[in-house]
Structure 1
């Protein structure tokens, strides 16, 4: 993977390029990952693609400013990289976990540019009231800031969420690890706030997928307790018949060498 950077306002966007195919695919990683997670695709099986893997705000080598990553800014960054790298103006999108939410937001802003979308264990499909309130309201953001600065209260809050069924045990354990460290809790808040505008409406997303007849591949692990497959059913129903849904014998991490042939099939 060849690393490069793009200046956007006061931010320095780090991204990697690999492959030399005629088709282009923009890749977005999951929470606490970086662009290197996609290096598994840097092999002859994917020779028809050129991949651009972007480090998201406060991840990898990207130096982010205090701007919000809105769908428009995300689209600006994609188009500037296309111009800089002399790539075709249309492209595919690949998103893993948090990156799935980013990919869906990119498509929804400029659907005419996207040829295909591949979503691996995508975040952003849960439709619960409290999830929306926490992510998309000023009160939710203030409460998160309050709890992340008070570790013991944050952990008690997580226990309450687990007890009333808002989160499962796996999510509880992961979240507890993040809030128990001052550095990790600071990063969590910065990442949360910077990308809080990337929450596409699933109803509108489904309508746009049908309108543009976008082929979508959506994959979940059967043992994934972080982004379980049942969260996807609403979008799948909204976008029939354009979403090809699969479940693998896997957990949350689908970008592994042992799944390379299944990953290859998603690009055909």
Structure 2
């Protein structure tokens, strides 16, 4: 474990694990920490030494002297470079790979965009960032959505009621309902949801540029989706997949809750 001092942001905490020699910078999904990928012990961790970063408002990572207005305005995309540059200061400038699950895929993809000549492989699981997710876009960009999002996080009953209604009209399934409900059952959790989604609202990967870099260098690209994922399904990523020369695409019999033992058992049987 360790910390990186990211200029203009704060202290980013990371966890180290894995028996492999190749460095892998990893970014987890909402409500988790950088330890999330520890379950992939038979597959990914055999090949890589993972540096799993806690997102801000998760684990031990802390923003420094940011006001609520700054948080709501969002973290500038250019600041993602600090993750790599500060990591280089500790471990030396070298080639590395990236991995991201769900919202963590945004940072992983932007690092590919910024350092295509240094990235060996990108592993994405149920990734955000490959298309516009209308729900997040509404909550963090549209004036009405931003107002409602703020009001919901301040209320003890609005968030649970909203989730129940979204489930009732099949906008979200039972698994997503359970995941979301567990993240809004206290005032602190609701605030963290609000801050997290607003902080990352500007982290939009340029998928055309990234696909061009992946093909040009070339960078190995593995994409993993849950067959029953209603949040970030494979179909939403098809335009990006179509841009790649040699995509390594997989669908597993899981939902959005993808980083589990069953995934490790699936990956360990794939060619390395």
| 1:134 pairs with 2:139 | yes
| 1:124 pairs with 2:124 | no
After superposition, the Cα gap between the structure-2 partners of 1:223 and 1:15, relative to the gap in structure 1 and judged at 3 Å, is same
1:125·1:202 contact (CA, 8 Å) conserved in 2?
yes
Distance 1:188 1:130 in 2: 14
Secondary structure, counterpart of 2:35 in structure 1: helix
Q: String of CA shifts for 1:92-143, please: whole Å, max 9, x gaps.
A: 1111122122211222233232221101111234435564343345654343
Corresponding residue number in structure 2 for 1:17: 16
Which gives a bigger RCO, structure 1 or 2 (Cα 8 Å, sep 6+)?
Answer: 2
Corresponding residue number in structure 2 for 1:61: 60
Corresponding residue number in structure 2 for 1:72: 78
- Equivalent position to 2:113, from 82, 91, 108: 108
Alignment of 1:30-45 (within 5 A): 30-41=29-40
Distance 2:43 2:161 in 1: 49
Secondary structure, counterpart of 2:63 in structure 1: coil
| 1:8 pairs with 2:13 | no
Secondary structure, counterpart of 1:119 in structure 2: strand
Secondary structure, counterpart of 2:191 in structure 1: helix
| CA deviation after TM superposition for structure 1 residue 82, in Å | 2.5
After superposition, the Cα gap between the structure-2 partners of 1:111 and 1:151, relative to the gap in structure 1 and judged at 3 Å, is farther
Corresponding residue number in structure 2 for 1:253: 257
| CA deviation after TM superposition for structure 1 residue 256, in Å | 2.8
Distance 1:133 1:45 in 2: 35
| 1:197 pairs with 2:202 | yes
Moved more, 94-103 or 139-148: 139-148
Distance 1:45 1:236 in 2: 22
| CA deviation after TM superposition for structure 1 residue 241, in Å | 2.5
Distance 2:271 2:90 in 1: 25
Which TM-score applies when normalising by structure 1?
0.82
Q: Give 5+ residue unaligned stretches, structure 1.
A: none
- Equivalent position to 2:266, from 258, 262, 265: 262
| CA deviation after TM superposition for structure 1 residue 35, in Å | 1.4
Secondary structure, counterpart of 2:176 in structure 1: helix
2:36·2:259 contact (CA, 8 Å) conserved in 1?
yes
1:120·1:219 contact (CA, 8 Å) conserved in 2?
yes
2:131·2:236 contact (CA, 8 Å) conserved in 1?
yes
Which TM-score applies when normalising by structure 2?
0.81
Corresponding residue number in structure 2 for 1:84: 90
